[in-house]
């Protein structure tokens, strides 16, 4: 049985307990991170730890443990569950308090939960060989998407809409422009230029996005950070998404229109390769 971490204890998953008064449960008053594991090692742990700190700060939530201890907990869970390839999910909530919209005045002890998911072959080339089909849907999330909160109901609805339409995922559109995917950042490629939306409160600041844009610049690729429309994407040479669990994943169809002849493009393939190479080399 899987061993999970709850507030200082490593316990079998069926013995893990969180209070019914936990504000994560009652108010979605919590933030999370997902760090991938390849070859038993964590990919870009420092990036995820830094974003977690920022999310907590934006919500005036206490840091449950320091970064070193957080790393130790991640490693311990990976080891105890024998994870070769997979994910570590981490969630911090403001903790348990009698139900009230106001943050508890005396402060609460934050709740810290981590668990692993084993995903053999997470980085297998076969996963990226086919590419994804996406549909566009209106972006109906709250306005602070830069904070990685556990309010994932709309993205969850978006994945269901995609499934109902026979697609793999959805790209969200606001004021005529693509914000991001339901659980990833969105990109198009036109000629030799990679286009992706600029950072702001409208999108999550992807850890994979930061690494991929840095690697693209190092490889002398041109990058434009600006909004783009679904029409522009449909006329692009390539499209792809990035996330900690999908790395760089080609998109080959948008609202029924094939992109780049309906096959994964070269830029996405190259970025996936250099991202995975570097990530593996630097994994902890």
Catalytic residues: 148
CA distance 201 to 225: 14
How many residues form the binding site for ligand PMP (CB under 6 A)? 13
Decide if 140 contacts 199 (C-beta within 8 A): no
> Beta strands 177-181 and 222-225: pairing type?
unpaired
Q: What residues numbered 201-220 form the site for ligand PMP, per CB under 6 A?
A: 204, 206-209
**Which tokens is 44 given?**
């870009």
Q: Which of 29, 169, 180, 238 binds ligand PMP (CB under 6 A)?
A: 180
For residue 31, state whether it binds ligand PMP (rule: CB under 6 A): no
C-beta of 110 vs 206, nearer to ligand PMP:
206
C-beta of 108 vs 151, nearer to ligand PMP:
151
Q: Which of 78, 112, 244, 259 binds ligand PMP (CB under 6 A)?
A: 244
Kindly state the smallest distance separating residue 179's Cβ from ligand PMP, in Å.
8
Name residue, tokens 């108010």: 27
Q: Which of 108, 111, 116, 243 binds ligand PMP (CB under 6 A)?
A: 243
Among residues 127, 130, 94, the alpha carbon closest in space to that of 112 is found at 94
> Beta strands 238-243 and 247-254: pairing type?
antiparallel
Q: Which of 4, 242, 250, 264 binds ligand PMP (CB under 6 A)?
A: 242
Q: Which of 116, 183, 196, 279 binds ligand PMP (CB under 6 A)?
A: 183
C-beta of 206 vs 264, nearer to ligand PMP:
206
3-state class of 225 per DSSP? Answer: strand
Q: How would you classify residue 20: left for phi > 0, otherwise alpha for psi between -120 and 50, otherwise beta?
A: alpha
Phi, then psi, of 55 in degrees rounded to 5:
-60, -45
User: Where do contacts with ligand PMP occur on this chain (CB under 6 A)?
Assistant: 34, 180, 183-185, 204, 206-209, 242-244
């Amino acid at each position: 049985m899987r061993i999970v971490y709850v507030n200082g204890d490593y316990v079998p998953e069926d013995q893990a307990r969180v209070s019914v008064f936990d504000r994560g449960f009652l108010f979605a008053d919590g933030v999370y991170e997902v760090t991938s594991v390849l070859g038993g090692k964590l990919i870009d742990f420092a990036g995820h730890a830094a974003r977690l700190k920022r999310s907590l700060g934006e919500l005036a939530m206490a840091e449950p443990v320091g970064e070193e201890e957080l790393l130790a907990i991640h490693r311990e869970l990976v080891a105890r569950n024998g994870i070769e390839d997979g994910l570590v999910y981490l969630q911090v909530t403001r903790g348990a308090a009698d139900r009230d919209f106001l943050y508890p005045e005396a402060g609460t002890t934050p709740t810290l939960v981590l668990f692993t998911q084993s995903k053999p072959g997470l980085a297998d080339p076969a996963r990226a060989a086919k590419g994804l089909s996406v549909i566009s849907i209106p972006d109906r999330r709250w306005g602070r998407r830069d904070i990685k909160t556990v309010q994932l109901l709309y993205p969850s609805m978006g994945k269901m809409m995609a499934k109902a339409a026979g697609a793999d995922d959805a790209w969200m559109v606001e004021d005529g422009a693509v914000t991001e995917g339901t659980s990833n950042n969105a990109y198009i490629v036109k000629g030799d230029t990679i286009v992706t939306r600029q950072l702001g409160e409208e999108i999550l600041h992807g850890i994979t996005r930061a690494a991929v844009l840095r690697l693209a610049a190092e490889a002398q690729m041109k990058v434009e950070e600006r909004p783009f429309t679904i029409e522009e994407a449909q006329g692009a040479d390539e499209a792809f998404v990035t996330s900690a669990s999908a790395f760089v994943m080609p998109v080959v169809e948008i609202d029924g229109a094939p992109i780049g002849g309906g096959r994964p493009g070269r830029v996405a393939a190259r970025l996936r390769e250099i991202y995975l190479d570097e990530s593996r080399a630097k994994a902890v």
